[in-house]
Amino acid sequence: MRLFALLCVFGLSNCKFYSKKSSNVKLLRFDWKNCGQPDAPASMKTLDISPDPISIPGDLSAAASGSTSVELSAPLAVNVTLEKEVAGFWVKVPCVEDLGSCHYPDACSLLSLLVPPGQDCPEPLHTYGLPCHCPFKAGTYSLPQSDFYLPYMDLPYWLTNGNYRVQGTLGNQDNKELGCLKVAFSLHSYSEEHHGTV
């Protein structure tokens, strides 16, 4: 479930479902940049998210584009490093139940679990003809401005209020780095401040 929540935030899973649980988490100061080598085959070109701050649960508008000069096929390893700011220092968050600073040996298999092969990709990927399964052919991919609903996520206590940095590095079976992306954000839970008022 926590892996699904992580993939949902990054647009890799269908987030259009609702929950009776109430929690209002806000995402602040969103920023991103490529961190791979200049000749890395895969890179993000644009990434725009609004509103700022982002409410979880709540509506989200996003647009993105990226490209790869090589086919991305299984096994497609992903190394995630997650850091949280604690008393002015950045502390690495360990991998707990597939969330945190984790190594995923094959992201392709995870995508197949979320969207079984043969099943249509979730919206809005399906509408714009964007793939959600490996292999991803070489080329440019673009998601026009699209609206999502981000559901309630039962996140662990150590992934609630605070400032975070996450780095994701993509690699192939030969341990060659294919691309790298850094994202910085802040989380703030209003449910703690307004207990009983939601």
118, with CB counted inside 10 A (0-12, 13-18, 19+), is exposed
What pLDDT sits at residue 189?
57
The pLDDT of residue 26 = 58
**C-alpha span between 30 and 26 (Å, rounded):** 11
Cβ neighbour number for residue 108 with a 10 Å cutoff: 19
Length of the chain: 198
- Write down the pLDDT at residue 17: 32
Residue pair 139/55 in contact (Cβ under 8 Å)? The answer is no
pLDDT at 118: 87
What letter does residue 96 receive in the DSSP assignment? B
* All structural domains of the chain with their residue ranges: 2-13+24-193
Nearest-angstrom CA–CA distance, 190 and 125? 31
Q: State the pLDDT at residue 151.
A: 79
Query: What homologous superfamily does CATH list for 2-13+24-193?
Result: Ganglioside GM2 activator (2.70.220.10)
77: enclosing H helix or E strand:
strand 77-86
Residue pLDDT tens, the chain, 198 long: 344 444 444 444 444 333 333 345 555 578 999 999 999 999 999 988 877 666 777 788 899 999 999 999 999 999 999 999 998 899 999 998 888 999 999 999 999 999 998 899 998 999 999 999 999 999 999 999 999 887 777 767 776 777 889 999 999 878 889 999 998 887 765 444 444 433
pLDDT value at residue 28: 57
Cβ atoms of 188 and 163 closer than 8 Å:
no
Instruction: For residues 36 and 171, give the distance between their C-alpha atoms in angstroms, rounded to a whole number.
Output: 11
- In sequence order, the β-bridge partners of residue 15 are none
Could you tell me which residues are beta bridge partners of residue 53? none
pLDDT at 24: 56
Instruction: Report DSSP state, residue 69.
Output: S
Close Cβ partners of 170 (under 8 Å, ≥ 6 residues apart): 42, 72, 76, 77, 78, 107, 177, 178, 179, 180
pTM of the model as a whole = 0.78
Q: Which pLDDT value is given to residue 18?
A: 32
